[in-house]
């Protein structure tokens, strides 16, 4: 469990042409990722977020199918982390959320994310 100075979060990551590492567990050679624009990744994630917030989709199920992060195997669960352990925009967005909230689009060197704070 997260200590007082830590948060716990899950996320859905969509990588794109501008991502620092253009490979993922779903696309080991990055062939698909290299064709995805940042704008297309953002639009996909906005649609996913709308479906989750409206109750049409479950965050963890979508993360398992869609996320380019290896945390997809755990429904997007990153476990507990403290300040300085994640890229700054990701960290700031997570700490700003209340438990149970889902972020807007968060842009990092890894790609675009939506984050659900879980603790």
Q: Which residues are catalytic?
A: 11, 69, 87, 110, 113
pLDDT single digits (tens) 37-91: 999 999 999 999 999 999 999 999 999 999 999 999 999 999 999 999 999 999 9
String of DSSP letters for 64-113 = HHH-SSGGGGGTTEEEEEETTSS-HHHHHHHHHSPTT-B-S-EEETTEEE
Domains, the chain: 7-117 (3.10.50.40)
Model's pTM, two decimal places?
0.93
- Sheet of 6-14: strand order equals 77-82, 6-14, 111-117, 106-108
Quote the CA–CA distance of 22 and 115 in Å, as a whole number. 21
CA 56 to chain centre: 18
Q: For position 89, what pLDDT does the model report?
A: 96
Percentage of the chain modeled with pLDDT above 90: 96
pLDDT for 2 equals 53
């Amino acid at each position: 469990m997260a200590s007082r100075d830590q948060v716990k979060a899950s996320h859905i990551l969509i990588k794109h042409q501008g991502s620092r590492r253009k490979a993922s567990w779903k696309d080991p050679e990055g062939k698909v990722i290299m064709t995805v624009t940042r704008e297309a990744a953002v639009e996909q994630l906005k649609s996913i977020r709308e479906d989750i917030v409206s109750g049409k989709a479950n965050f963890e199920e979508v993360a398992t199918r869609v996320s380019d992060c290896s945390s997809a195997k755990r429904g997007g669960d990153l476990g507990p982390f403290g300040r300085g352990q994640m890229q700054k925009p990701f960290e700031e967005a997570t700490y700003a959320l209340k438990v149970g909230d889902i972020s807007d689009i968060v842009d990092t060197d890894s790609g675009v994310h939506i984050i659900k704070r879980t603790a």
